[in-house]
Amino acid sequence: MEDYPRNHAEFDSRFATEVACEEYLFRLRWPEGFSCPRCNSRGGWLTKRSLVMCRTCGYQSSLRAGTIFEGSRKPLSLWFRAMWYLTGAKSGASAVTVQRVLGLGSYQTAWTWLHKLRRAMVRPGRDRLRGLVEVDETFLGAPEPGRHGRRMGRKALIAVAAEARGQGIGRIRMQRVADGKASSLHPFVLSSVEPGSLLRTDDWQGYAGLEKKGYGREAIEVKLTGLTASTVLPRVHRVVSLLKRWLMGTHQGAVSHEHLDYYLDEFTFRFNRRTSRSRGKLFYRLLQNAVVVPPTPYRAMVKGLRGRKQKADHKI
Ligand SMILES: [Zn+2]
C-alpha cells in the first residue's frame, strides 16, 4: 500500500515531528515488520533513541544504518524537506538553492546531500528499456573549433538510449562512456536495453555486433539519407538538448566529469517520471530507494578530486 502525502499541506502536517518521520521511514524500510539481522526473527519497534529493537533477542540497530541517511546528524525531518523540495522542483535545484531554502549552515552539507540523494535516484535492479530504442552518443562540453568526431578530448562522452512510445519518448537511460568503441558502447546497451529489443542507431562501428548479443538493429547511414542525425534519431537528440539545457540552467555548467553520472541519474529520474502528476509519489519513490541504497561517505564522494574544492568543479 503506497501511502504518501498528496500535497504540500499534507506533507507539512504529516512530517511535522521527528518521530513521525522516523515511523514513516521504519514502515517503508520494513513493510512486513522489522527483520532482525542477528536472530532472523520478525518483529521489533522503534525506541526513543532512534534505534530499532528486536522483539525476540533485544538486539538494537540504528534506523538509519544502511540507508543514505547513515552518518548524518541532521534531523530526518530536514532530510524529508530536502527530498520534498527536490521532487517538487521541476528542474531540480543547485546546492546553493538547497542551502538557502533549507537554511543549512554550509554549502558543503547542501552539496553532499544532493549527491547522496542523486545516488538514491536509481533503483537497484531497475528494468531495462524495451521495444524500439534509439541509441546515440554525444559530447558534453563547450563547443570547440573543428570536428573531433568520436575521439575524446577534454569533453565527456555520454551514451543515451531513448524508448519510442508512439511518436514520443518513453523511458531513457544515459551514462558516461570512456570512448565510442564497441568495448564501451556494448556494455552500456547491455545494461540499459532488454535483449530482444530493436535498436536504432547510426552506422557507427561501435554499435556493430550487437545483433549477435540478442538485439535487432536498424543502422541508419546518416550521410546517405541526406538528413541530420537529429532527424534520423529525433528522440535521443531531444533528450540531449533537454539535458544540456538543464546542466547549463540549473547547474550553470559547473559539473565535473567525476560526478557527471550522478547528474545524469537525477535528470533521468525526473525525465522518466515527467508525466507523473503526483509530487508525493516522486517523493515516495525517492525515499523508497534511499532506504535500500548503501550510504556513501563524503570522503568517498570527493575522492579523486585531489583536494580541489567541490565548488570549483571544472566546467564541462
Ligand atoms: Zn533478534
What pTM, to 2 d.p., does this model score? 0.85
Distance (angstroms) between ligand 1 centre and the Cα of 116 equals 30
Q: Which pLDDT does position 194 carry in this prediction?
A: 97
Q: How confident is the model at residue 45 (pLDDT cuts 50, 70, 90)?
A: very high
Confidence of residue 309 (pLDDT cuts 50, 70, 90): very low
CA of 63 to the centre of ligand 1 (A): 15
Decide: 203 and 180 in contact? Cβ < 8 Å: no
Distance in Å, CA 60 to ligand 1 centroid? 8
* Ligand 1 centroid distance, CA of 50 (Å): 17
Distance 52 CA to ligand 1 centre (A): 10
C-alpha of residue 294 to centroid of ligand 1, in Å: 22
Ligand 1 mean position to 34 CA, how many Å?
Answer: 9
- 316 pLDDT tier (thresholds 50, 70, 90): very low
pLDDT tens-place string over residues 239-285: 999 999 998 888 777 777 788 888 999 999 999 998 887 889 999 99
pLDDT at 303: 67
The residues facing 174 across adjacent strands are 160
How far is ligand 1, taken at its centre, from the CA of residue 40, in Å? 6
Write the secondary structure of the chain as one string of H (helix), E (strand) and C (coil). Answer: CCCCCCCHHHHHHHCCCHHHHHHHHHHHHCCCCCECCCCCCECEEECCCCEEEECCCCCEEECCCCCCCCCCCCCHHHHHHHHHHHHHCCCCCCHHHHHHHHCCCCHHHHHHHHHHHHHCCCCCCCCCECCEEEEEEEEECCCCCCCCCCCCCCCEEEEEEEEEECCEEEEEEEEEECCCCHHHHHHHHHHHECCCCEEEEECCHHHCCHHHHCCEEEEECHHHHCCCHHHHCHHHHHHHHHHHHHHHHCCCCCCCHHHHHHHHHHHHHHHHCCCCCCHHHHHHHHHHHHCCCCCCCHHHHHCCCCCCCHHHCCCC
Q: How would residue 1 be classed by pLDDT, with cut points 50, 70 and 90?
A: low
* pLDDT number for residue 253: 73
Residue 45 alpha carbon to ligand 1 centre in Å: 11
Buried b (16+ CB within 10 A) or exposed e, 274-292: eeeeebbbbbbbbbbbbbe
